[in-house]
Amino acid sequence: MPRVIDAGVLIKLHLDEVDSDAAIRAVRGKRELAAPDLLWAETGNILWKYVRRGELQAAEAERLLADMMQMPIRTIPTAEIIESALTIAMETGRTVYDCIYVAAAVAVGGVVLTADRRLVNALAGHPDGAFVRGL
């Protein structure tokens, strides 16, 4: 079963954060990783925030992004899942950005791994809740 990872999980795989160990365990040995193409913009934005706060040097952020982009992550074009994401967002009250990851998991028949407890809670009881797994 493919694992769809969100930007928060991808960051946790490369930086020592809360739940980094859980993220590593969740993807260790998984053959199929997937994500919507939105992953790269969100990941870049998270790294930019680290640099702005002085927690990473710009060169380190650039190196980390380059390393992340070498990971074998199948990307799903957002245009292919945006309609589903909008529906899920309207039904659950979560952002379309968050629901793009859920729609990606539905599209590939996998689960989205996330550290976003609010997303996990919002999808509990929703038909697509089976496609969401918290760290």
Residue 29 has pLDDT above 90, yes or no: no
- Report the distance separating Cα 45 and Cα 39, nearest Å: 10
Domain 3-134, architecture per CATH: 3-Layer(aba) Sandwich (3.40)
- pLDDT at position 97: 96
pLDDT in tens, 62-81: 999 999 999 999 999 999 99
DSSP E strands, the chain: 3-5, 33-36, 73-76, 111-114, 132-134
- Taking 3-state DSSP, the helix, strand and coil percentages for the chain, each rounded to the nearest 5, stand at 60, 15, 25
State phi, psi for 91 to the nearest 5 degrees.
Answer: -80, -25
Residue 110 has pLDDT above 90, yes or no: yes
pLDDT in tens, 50-62: 999 999 999 999 9
pLDDT band at 89 (very low <50, low <70, confident <90, very high): very high
Residue 1 has pLDDT above 90, yes or no: no
- pLDDT at position 135: 93
Residue 128 has pLDDT above 90, yes or no: yes
- Report the distance separating Cα 102 and Cα 63, nearest Å: 28
Residue 31 has pLDDT above 90, yes or no: no
- Report the distance separating Cα 134 and Cα 23, nearest Å: 10
- pLDDT at position 52: 98
Q: Which residue is associated with the tokens 């702005």? A: 52
- pLDDT at position 88: 97
Global confidence as pTM: 0.93
